[in-house]
Amino acid sequence: MIKMLVLDIDGTIFKKDYTASDRVKNTLKALVQDGIKVVLCTGRMYAATKFIAQELGLNTPVICYQGGIIKDFVNDDKTLLEINMDVELARDVISVLKERNIFFNLYINDNLIVEKDDRLIREYVDARNITYKVVGDCEKMDLTGLNKVLAIDDDPILIENLQKEMAEKYKDKLYVVRSTTRFCEFSNPEATKGNAVRFLANMWGIKKEEIMACGDQDNDIEMLLAAGIKVAMGNATQELKNIADFITDTVDNDGVVKAVEKIIGEKYAL
């Protein structure tokens, strides 16, 4: 019996227009009403995740920053878990990105910070209903409380190569993963979606076989591996599909609803 459903947001329940269909919303609300813990597990910052959970009618803590933070928005935004980046490693990453003229975001104490205003950051915040601060030279900043560094580029090959190179360079020191074809993320190696899922499962006394997880990108691999039932979206990366127990339909065709119907119960296919 599934007691915990863990869901990525973008590309899993949110389509390209950053909305979830009414069918997805109704299914999630029905699961919540039946006592199943529905948990959002995302690379997004907390400020961009809290309102989504509220809109969806959820009542469980949210996992943000790939597992770097777990917060309980129902209980005064209480922080249940926080794992930040090593400051010196972060400065090293920032130096490499600046040398290569790759645009990047910093997330410090759940504030979005950039060195310069740019089309990339404006597109990023417009889609997520969040604000940002331009600081000029972040290398002079106090980076204490740094949640993650996000590199952004329109060239998917550049991002793919950057991830491979930096993952090797910082092996066992940083978690380096692509969250989309345009995003390469850097965080503490303990800050993974999988570790965060296990943290909540232990807190609630839920066994691995009672967890179902659904995602679409490489940063969801750890999340799926922490679950007893691993579901990849039809629009997922091949790497994610390779480890999945079940490949559902695409996000545009309400793949999450179809997976819930097949695995948890037909009554939820609203």
Q: 3-state SS string over the chain?
A: CCCEEEECCECCCECCCCCCCHHHHHHHHHHHHCCCEEEEECCCCHHHHHHHHHHCCCCCCEEEHHHCEEEECCCCCEEEEECCCCHHHHHHHHHHHHHCCCEEEEEECCEEEECCCCHHHHHHHHCCCCCCEECCCHHHCCCCCEEEEEEECCCHHHHHHHHHHHHHHCCCCCEEEEEECCEEEEECCCCCHHHHHHHHHHHHCCCHHHEEEEECCHHHHHHHHCCCEEEECCCCCHHHHHHCCEECCCHHHCHHHHHHHHHCCHHHCC
Q: Can you give the pLDDT at residue 126?
A: 80
Place of tokens 């232990």: 202
Q: Which residues of the chain have pLDDT under 50?
A: none
Classified by CATH at the fold level, domain 4-82+191-268 comes out as: Rossmann fold (3.40.50)
Q: Can you give the pLDDT at residue 233?
A: 98
Query: Which residues belong to CATH 3.40.50.1000 in the chain?
Result: 4-82+191-268
Q: Can you give the pLDDT at residue 270?
A: 67
Query: Which residues belong to CATH 3.30.1240.10 in the chain?
Result: 87-187
- The 10s digit of each residue's pLDDT in 120-132 is 998 888 877 788 9
**Best CA proximity match to 121, nearest among 91, 157, 152:** 152
- CA angle (94, 123, 109) in 5-degree steps: 50
Q: Can you give the pLDDT at residue 266?
A: 84
- The 10s digit of each residue's pLDDT in 21-66 is 999 999 999 999 999 999 999 999 999 999 999 999 999 999 999 9
Cα gap 22→54, rounded to integer Å: 15
Pick the CATH number of 87-187 from 3.40.140.10, 3.30.1240.10, 3.30.450.80, 3.30.499.10: 3.30.1240.10
Q: Can you give the pLDDT at residue 5?
A: 98
**Best CA proximity match to 212, nearest among 176, 245, 249:** 245
